Amino acid sequence: MRDSTSKAMAGPRPVVFSGPSGAGKSTLLKKLIKEHENVFGFSVSHTTRNPRPGEENGRDYHYVTREAMQAAINNGEFIENAEFSGNLYGTSKAAVQAVQAKNLICILDIDMQGVKNIKKTDLNPMYISIQPPSMEVLEKRLRDRNTESEESLQKRLHAANVDMEFSKEPGMFDVVIVNDNLEDAYKNLKQALLEEINKVKKAKASS
């Protein structure tokens, strides 16, 4: 039976990060996890895309074949999954449980389809949208990141347009952070999470 007790036992409330590719989600949440490693844990998603230089299997993503991932999805191992820019991405139940077992705030970095699907589950996270200051800045950052082919870049820019329209829907996000100046955006992010951070710290101090 799903009741408030089982949710409470699952640990602190997770946080979902979403926003267009290149908005700065990874940059911000890596900073956050580094500064508060006893508070936050990252839900390591599965993906069929290739690792980028510097990315590590099991830390940034679990890199898998489409066949393996589809089989695991069919087997009911995923909370949500989506096709993004020609690849499959998904959050496994195990990924979230691994973080919650440590009593950490579970961070999910997922696209808009993921947000919609998580809203249908009983995960009950806080939803944070990371937005770029403009499409022009987003394109420049994505190009400067140097991780995408022109084709992949265009797919991401197209998805970003759809994403930015969709995220304007009232009630979709609890907090919207515009990542213009990185330090300011990070400060706003920490402020938005302050209460949850303090809750976890307090619980840890008294256990």
Ligand X SMILES: Nc1nc2c(ncn2[C@@H]2O[C@H](COP(=O)(O)OP(=O)(O)O)[C@@H](O)[C@H]2O)c(=O)[nH]1
Which residues does the annotation mark as catalytic?
52, 145, 156
Residues of this chain, 86-125, that bind ligand X according to CB under 6 A: 89-91, 109-111, 113-114
Select the span of 3-11, 22-30, 80-88, 198-206 touching ligand ADP (CB under 6 A).
Answer: 22-30
CB of 175 to ligand ADP, least distance (A): 16
Residue type, 202: K
CB of 145 to ligand ADP, least distance (A): 4
- Residue (159 or 192) nearer to ligand X, CB: 159
CB of 107 to ligand ADP, least distance (A): 12
Determine which helix (DSSP H) or strand (DSSP E) holds 111, and give its type and residue range: none
Q: What are phi and psi of 197, to 5 degrees?
A: -60, -45
Select the span of 66-74, 79-87, 141-149, 170-178 touching ligand ADP (CB under 6 A).
Answer: 141-149
Residues of this chain, 8-37, that bind ligand X according to CB under 6 A: 21-22, 26
Q: Does 188 bind ligand ADP (CB under 6 A)?
A: no
- Residue (39 or 185) nearer to ligand ADP, CB: 185
Q: Which of 55, 50, 20, 26 is nearest to 149 (CA)?
A: 50
Contact in structure between 175 and 32 (CB atoms under 8 Å): no
The tokens for 195 are 């209460």
What is the b/e burial string over 149-168, where b = at least 16 CB atoms within 10 angstroms of the residue's CB? eeebbebbbebbeebbeebe
- Residue (55 or 77) nearer to ligand ADP, CB: 55
Distance between CA 89 and CA 46 in Å, rounded?
6
| Spatial CB neighbours of 203, under 8 Å, sequence gap ≥ 6 | 12, 103
Contact in structure between 142 and 22 (CB atoms under 8 Å): yes
Q: Does 115 bind ligand ADP (CB under 6 A)?
A: no
| Spatial CB neighbours of 63, under 8 Å, sequence gap ≥ 6 | 46, 47, 48, 49, 50, 51, 57
Q: Which residue is nearest to ligand X (CB)?
A: 114
Q: Which chain residues interact with ligand X by CB under 6 A?
A: 21-22, 26, 45, 49, 80, 82, 84, 89-91, 109-111, 113-114, 156
Q: Which chain residues interact with ligand ADP by CB under 6 A?
A: 21-27, 141, 144-145, 179, 181-182, 185
